[in-house]
Amino acid sequence: MMTWILGHILASGIGISLGLIGGGGSVLALPILVYVMGVPTKSAIAMTLVIVGTVSFIGVIPHWRKGNINYQKAYIFGSATMLGAFMGAKIAALPFITGSLQMLLFAIMMLLAAGLMIQKGSKKAANKSPEEPDLELYPPPICKYCWLWLLTEGLGVGILTGLVGVGGGFAIVPALVILGKMPMKEAIGTSLLILVANSVAGFLGYLGQVELDWKLIVTFIVAASLGSFLGAYLSQFIDGKKLQKYFGYFLIAVATFVLFQNQSAFQRKRSSVSWQHRSYTVGIIESKNIKL
């Protein structure tokens, strides 16, 4: 019972993060499900896609009301990410894609997201209007056909989404601003719609391959949604941009924990393989001795 309560308190933190800093919290869903609730990795990734997709859908509503969604760019970029997410889920079903490998990829994604958050949180505010894109960290690429790069990045982000259950919002927003040439607010609203589409496509790729705890999915969605309302309220009193740096350090700590856990898993696997090899060798020697 205490584990259930702790898991849902942490799930509410997903929503609080989304309400305060506008992103990042969704990456916490997978480690909470795996390491707190004890859900198998592949099932947890599929469940994370449902949770992230639903919370993102709730986040889309205020942007839709304000007209901050570019449906044309969402279709172009989203079609590539949806294809990638479905492919990523199917790749995850291959025998050599283990749960430990998926968690290692997930930890790497967390470290990348943390690095961006720390840099953005440490950067001094420049004298620019809120409508002006914040692009110091994202140097514009030299490309003649930016829409082609947009599709290529969309496919890559989608594959990672299907593989590890991370929406990839930290990569989608700068892609839409730089390659899609969209205002920042419009890019954020559009990215949330793309995250919903990614989650649906990735989940369909996992459907029928893994077992799902729908009761846990629903309760996690409720906890995260309530947290998002609390985060939105607290954002009136707390500067979310300043919190990004500290949240980035927290993500590094979580990623380090994930890496440590899976390093132990790989060591156990190597030990098991080595023991099996020694047993096989001893068996051959003994059989030869018996024949002699």
pLDDT 10s digits, 219-272: 999 998 888 778 777 777 776 666 777 788 888 888 888 888 877 655 555 554
Q: Domain range holding 49?
A: 1-122+143-286
Q: What is the mean pLDDT of the chain?
A: 77
List all residues 6 or more positions away from 142 whose beta carbon is below 8 Å from its beta carbon: none
How sure is the predictor about 142, in pLDDT bands with cuts at 50, 70 and 90?
Answer: very low
- Of residues 195 and 228, the one with the higher pLDDT is 195
Please tell me the predicted confidence (pLDDT) of residue 140.
52
Please tell me the predicted confidence (pLDDT) of residue 176.
78
247 within a domain of the structure (yes/no):
yes
Give, in order, the Cα–Cα distances in Å from 191 to each of 60, 110, 167: 9, 18, 10
Residue 192 has pLDDT above 70, yes or no: yes
128 within a domain of the structure (yes/no):
no
132 within a domain of the structure (yes/no):
no
Q: How many domains does the chain have?
A: 1
Give dist(CA 68, CA 74) in Å, integer. Answer: 11
Please tell me the predicted confidence (pLDDT) of residue 66.
82
> What's the pLDDT tens digit per position in 12-59?
888 777 766 666 666 788 889 999 999 999 999 999 899 888 888 887
How sure is the predictor about 286, in pLDDT bands with cuts at 50, 70 and 90?
Answer: low
From 42-51, 77-86, 160-169, the region with the lowest mean pLDDT: 160-169
> What's the pLDDT tens digit per position in 265-278?
555 555 544 444 45
- Amino acid of residue 237: F
Give dist(CA 223, CA 148) in Å, integer. Answer: 39
- Joined together, the tokens standing for residue 166 give 């991370």
Contact call for residues 176 and 64 (beta carbons, < 8 A): no
Give dist(CA 161, CA 116) in Å, integer. Answer: 18
Give, in order, the Cα–Cα distances in Å from 216 to each of 4, 38, 144, 149, 205: 9, 12, 47, 38, 20
Please tell me the predicted confidence (pLDDT) of residue 21.
64
Please tell me the predicted confidence (pLDDT) of residue 278.
53
- Joined together, the tokens standing for residue 209 give 């391959």
203 within a domain of the structure (yes/no):
yes
137 within a domain of the structure (yes/no):
no
**What are the start-end ranges of the E strands in 96-197?**
none
- Amino acid of residue 110: M
List all residues 6 or more positions away from 7 whose beta carbon is below 8 Å from its beta carbon: 32, 33, 36, 37, 220
Please tell me the predicted confidence (pLDDT) of residue 158.
87
Please tell me the predicted confidence (pLDDT) of residue 219.
93
Q: What is the DSSP letter of 126?
A: P
68 within a domain of the structure (yes/no):
yes
